Amino acid sequence: MISKFFRRKAQDEPGRIARLPEGWRVYAIGDIHGCAHLLDRLHEKIEADLAKGRPSEVQLIYLGDYVDRGPDSVGVLDRLSRPPPAGIRRVLLKGNHEDMLGSFLSDPDVGSSWRQLGGLETLFSYRIDVNAVLGRAGFGGLADELRKRMPQTHAETLARLETSTSLGDYFFCHAGVRPRVALDRQDSRDLMWIRREFLDSAVDFGKTVVHGHSPVEQPDVRSNRINIDTGAYATGRLTALVLEGADRRFLST
């Protein structure tokens, strides 16, 4: 039944060969959505992969949507708030769910919309008695309680999230890009929220866009983009795209 909610995978189309700079390897990690146990398993797979041979430069790029829907948003943020392993670079990108969480903290009136996107699961993970607080003080009370319970390390991590990063011939963001707009002129909301205009576009974006946001049953490799959101909270599959030179491969839980 879950599969009907996923976009179908299209076959890879011919196009230019995207490359990373010599000596670099990237592990791009898709939407986690509160699945700390899957993140632990994927980290173990990455560690095992590095143990087989490690280039001079390694970068972890997390594509956003760390919170909501799954059972342990707190655990995910705990892990991402720690320093990265020695000798490994890390970039944390911002997804629409982190954007919504920030909006809720500044304007609790968005709470009714956030709850439809799985926001209550994030509140539960902070051990907030949602029904009691909501009945007593509304969404404003829930926002106050979340501010009290959220560790400073989580708040600092969320405040430092970036909306995009680029390396070699690859551009990384959460949701996608606006077609026919230069990558360095993309709107931050599009980078976190865009869907149909990006997914349906066959244009060359200037670089191969690596993204999540729109769940697929398996990684979706197109001529202009690669989608690695494999619906971890619903499927148990959290995916990492491994890039090195012109090579691409995948690790998955």
The per-residue pLDDT for 74 is: 98
Give the CA distances from residue 159 to residues 67, 154, 163, 169, in Å, rounded to whole numbers and listed in that order. Answer: 14, 9, 11, 27
Cα Rg, the chain, nearest whole Å: 18
Report whether 204 contacts 224 (CB < 8 A). yes
Return the CATH number at 53.
Answer: 3.60.21.10
Q: What is the pLDDT along the chain (253 residues), one digit of tens a residue?
A: 333 344 444 444 445 689 999 999 999 999 999 999 999 999 999 999 999 999 999 999 999 999 999 999 999 999 999 999 999 999 999 999 999 999 999 999 999 999 999 999 999 999 999 999 999 999 999 999 999 999 999 999 999 999 999 999 999 999 999 999 999 999 999 999 999 999 999 999 999 999 999 999 999 999 999 999 999 999 999 999 999 999 999 999 9
Q: What is the dihedral of CA 150, 124, 28, 172, to 10 degrees?
A: -70
Asked whether residue 145 is assigned to any structural domain, the reply reads yes
Let me know if residue 3 belongs to a domain. no
Q: Is residue 1 part of a domain?
A: no
The number of distinct structural domains making up the chain is 1
Q: How far apart are CA 47 and CA 93, in angstroms?
A: 21
> How far apart are alpha carbons 138 and 131 in whole angstroms?
9
User: What are the residues whose beta carbons fall under 8 Å from the beta carbon of 219, sequence distance 6 or more?
Assistant: 9, 226, 227, 228, 230, 239, 241, 250
Q: What is the residue range of 71's domain?
A: 29-252
* DSSP strands (E only) in 80-215: 89-92, 164-167, 170-173, 208-211
In a domain, 80, yes or no: yes
7-11 long-range CB contacts below 8 Å, 24 or more apart? Answer: 7/199, 7/214, 7/215, 7/216, 7/220, 8/216, 8/217, 9/216, 9/217, 9/218, 9/219, 9/220, 10/220, 10/222
Residue 151 C-beta-side C-alpha neighbours within 13 Å: 15
Asked whether the whole model's pTM tops 0.75, one would answer yes
Q: Do the domain assignments include residue 173?
A: yes
Q: 11 in a domain, yes or no?
A: no
Q: What is the DSSP letter of 205?
A: -
Helix (H, G, I), strand (E, B) or coil at 164: strand
Pairing of strands 89-92, 208-211: unpaired
Q: Is 32 within 8 Å of 231 (Cβ atoms)? A: no
Residue 140 burial (CB < 10 Å; 0-12/13-18/19+)? middle
Asked, for residue 75, whether it belongs to a domain, the answer is yes
Give the Cα separation of 187 and 169 in Å (integer): 20
Structural domain contains residue 199: yes
What is residue 3's predicted lDDT score, i.e. its pLDDT?
A: 37
The predicted structure's pLDDT at residue 15? 56
Coil, helix or strand at residue 238: coil
